[in-house]
Chains A and B, each alone.
Chain A
Amino acid sequence: DTEVTQTPKHLVMGMTNKKSLKCEQHMGHRAMYWYKQKAKKPPELMFVYSYEKLSINESVPSRFSPECPNSSLLNLHLHALQPEDSALYLCASSQVERGEYEQYFGPGTRLTVT
C-alpha cells in the first residue's frame, strides 16, 4: 500500500473558487513533487521541493501555488482555474541522499473545473 496520502480524492470547483490539495508522506523523504496527468498521457512534472524549499517550477501558471509547511506535508493551492486544468493531480516523494531517485506516488486527486 502507498505511504503517500492525498486529500481529497475528488474535487469539483468553479473557476472563481479557491481550494487546496493536500499530500502527506511518512517515509522520511526530503523531496516532494506535484505532477499533473491528463487522460491517456504520462504524468507531467509541476513542482519539486527539496528540504522544504522549492527547487523546480516547470513554468506552471501562477494560479497553482505550492507550499511545503514541513518535511511531511505538501499543499497545492488552486485559484481561478480554467476547465483545461481538469486532471489527476499526483503527489510523489523520494529520498534525496545517495542519488536515489525512485519516486513513490500518492493515489492522486481527480480535479474537475467547471
Chain B
Amino acid sequence: RKEVEQDPGPFNVPEGATVAFNCTYSNSASQSFFWYRQDCRKEPKLLMSVYSSGNEDGRFTAQLNRASQYISLLIRDSKLSDSATYLCVVPRGRALTFGSGTRLQVQP
C-alpha cells in the first residue's frame, strides 16, 4: 500500500458545485495532515491543516477518520479560481509525504 493515496481525478465540475476528494494513508501513527493546492507551474500552497477530527475554513472542510486512515477535502460552491491540483500530505518525521494529487477543473 502506498504511504498516501488519492483519487486520481481529474474532477470536472460546474461552478457552484460541491466536490469532495479522498485520501488514504498507511501510517496509523500519523498525527497531523495537510491539504496543499498547486496551480500549474507554481509552488504548492498550504490550504488546510488537520490535527483532530476535522477543520473548516469558509467553503473548505477537511475531515479525518483515524479508524479508517482516511482524510477528505470538501469544497462547496466551487469557483473558477478553485481549479488546481490538490495534494494530500502526511508528515513522516521532518519530511512530508505527498499524494500524487487530484486535479480539479471548475467550468463556467
Tell me whether A48 and B95 are in contact (CB under 8 A).
yes
Give every chain A residue within 8 A of B96 (Cβ-Cβ). Answer: 43, 45, 101, 103
Give every chain B residue within 8 A of A108 (Cβ-Cβ). Answer: 42-43
| Residue B44, interface by CB 8 Å | yes
Classify chain A's interface size.
20 to 34
Classify chain B's interface size.
20 to 34
Could you tell me which residues of chain A, from 39 to 83, have a CB within 8 Å of some CB in chain B? Answer: 41-43, 45, 48, 50, 55-56, 58
| Residue B46, interface by CB 8 Å | yes
Tell me whether A42 and B99 are in contact (CB under 8 A).
yes
Extra contacts, 11 of them, besides A42-B87, A56-B94, A105-B45 (Cβ < 8 A), are A2-B43, A42-B99, A42-B101, A45-B96, A48-B95, A55-B94, A90-B44, A99-B31, A99-B32, A103-B46, A103-B96
- Of A41, A56, A105, which one neighbours B43 at CB under 8 angstroms? A105
Query: With A41-B100, A42-B99, A42-B101 known to touch, is A102 a contact of B34 (CB < 8 Å)?
Result: yes
Tell me whether B94 and A48 are in contact (CB under 8 A).
yes
Rounded to whole Å, the gap between the CB of B93 and the closest CB of chain A is 8
Closest to A43 in B: B98
What 1/0 mask marks residues of chain B from 26 to 52 whose CB sits below 8 Å from any chain A CB? 000001101000000111111001000
Rounded to whole Å, the gap between the CB of A85 and the closest CB of chain B is 18
Rounded to whole Å, the gap between the CB of A113 and the closest CB of chain B is 18
Closest to A104 in B: B46
- Of B43, B46, B87, which one neighbours A90 at CB under 8 angstroms? B43
- The complex places the Cα of A105 from the Cα of B96 at a distance, in Å, of 12
Give every chain A residue within 8 A of B100 (Cβ-Cβ). Answer: 41-42
Tell me whether A102 and B49 are in contact (CB under 8 A).
yes
- Of B41, B94, B98, B101, which one neighbours A31 at CB under 8 angstroms? B94
What 1/0 mask marks residues of chain A from 5 to 41 whose CB sits below 8 Å from any chain B CB? 0000000000000000000000000010100000001
- The complex places the Cα of A72 from the Cα of B33 at a distance, in Å, of 26
- The complex places the Cα of A106 from the Cα of B42 at a distance, in Å, of 9
Closest to A108 in B: B43
Could you tell me which residues of chain B, from 67 to 107, have a CB within 8 Å of some CB in chain A? Answer: 87, 91, 93-96, 98-101
